[in-house]
């Protein structure tokens, strides 16, 4: 019997990382970035165990946008910076939908599932959020659970709250204050 090749998937080639550097983010600590010639490939809010030190200077455009964002200026890294990501087709669709969420608003997992054409895939949206390698630039912190509860965040809820409040979203008692949900 011949093996069925129809279910095999070929993973796209990983981006060629040109550099790895850090930026200081008041309120968050040090963030680590990696980039290719096409865009940012990774932005980590927490250090990875066993990772070599990040010594390269961050590209000026990336550093400028993120520094302004961390300082509370009205910039949106999701709209202003390029990314170079590898993921499943579903993950890539979710990450594109996340980049369309305007600064200062939040969306639910259910509304993102609708955006990507899978209205019952709220958990899968959550998994794609958790696999997001480029926090802030792919703003997974702008996604909340049903009932405006914060849901999870791989870098910790304290950082999610800091990011949301930095963008002007009001959070109280582990929930987003009503009236800030962008449903369109």
Residues labelled catalytic:
140
Q: How far apart are CA 124 and CA 109, in angstroms?
A: 9
Computed over every residue of the chain, the mean pLDDT equals 88
Strand 107-108 and strand 143-144: the pairing is parallel
pLDDT at site 172:
92
pLDDT at site 180:
59
Relative orientation angle of helices 122-130 and 89-99, to the nearest 10 degrees: 80
What share of the chain has pLDDT > 70, as a percent?
90
Q: How far apart are CA 162 and CA 182, in angstroms?
A: 19
Closest to 169 in 3D by CA, of 109, 110, 102: 102
Q: Which residues contact 45 (CB under 8 A, 6 or more apart)?
A: 28, 29, 31, 135, 136, 155, 159
Q: How far apart are CA 145 and CA 152, in angstroms?
A: 9
Whether pLDDT at 38 is above 90? yes
Pair 61, 51: CB distance under 8 Å: no
Summary count for the chain: helices (H), strands (E): 6, 7
* Boundaries of every domain in the chain: 19-80, 89-176
| pLDDT, tens only, 121-174 | 999 999 999 999 999 999 999 999 988 999 888 888 999 999 999 999 999 998
pTM (2 decimals)?
0.87
| pLDDT, tens only, 16-32 | 889 999 999 988 889 99
Among the CATH numbers 1.10.10.10, 3.30.200.20, 3.40.50.300, 1.10.510.10, which is that of 89-176? Answer: 1.10.10.10
Whether pLDDT at 184 is above 70? no
Q: How far apart are CA 152 and CA 130, in angstroms?
A: 8
């Amino acid at each position: 019997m011949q093996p069925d090749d129809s279910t095999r998937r070929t993973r796209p080639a990983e981006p060629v990382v040109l550099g790895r550097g850090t930026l200081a983010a008041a309120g968050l600590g040090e963030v680590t970035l990696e980039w290719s010639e096409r865009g940012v490939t990774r932005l980590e809010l927490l250090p990875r165990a066993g990772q070599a030190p990040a010594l390269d200077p961050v590209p000026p455009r990336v550093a400028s946008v993120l520094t302004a964002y961390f300082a509370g200026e009205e910039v949106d890294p999701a709209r202003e910076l390029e990314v170079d990501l590898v993921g499943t087709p579903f993950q890539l669709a979710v990450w594109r939908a996340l980049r369309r969420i305007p600064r200062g608003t939040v969306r639910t997992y259910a509304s993102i599932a609708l955006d990507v054409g899978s209205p019952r895939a709220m958990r899968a949206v959550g998994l794609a959020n958790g696999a997001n390698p480029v926090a802030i630039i792919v703003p997974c912190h702008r996604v909340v659970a049903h009932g405006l509860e914060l849901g999870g965040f791989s870098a910790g809820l304290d950082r999610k709250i800091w990011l949301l409040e930095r963008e002007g979203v009001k959070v109280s008692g582990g929930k987003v204050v009503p009236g800030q949900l962008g449903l369109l």
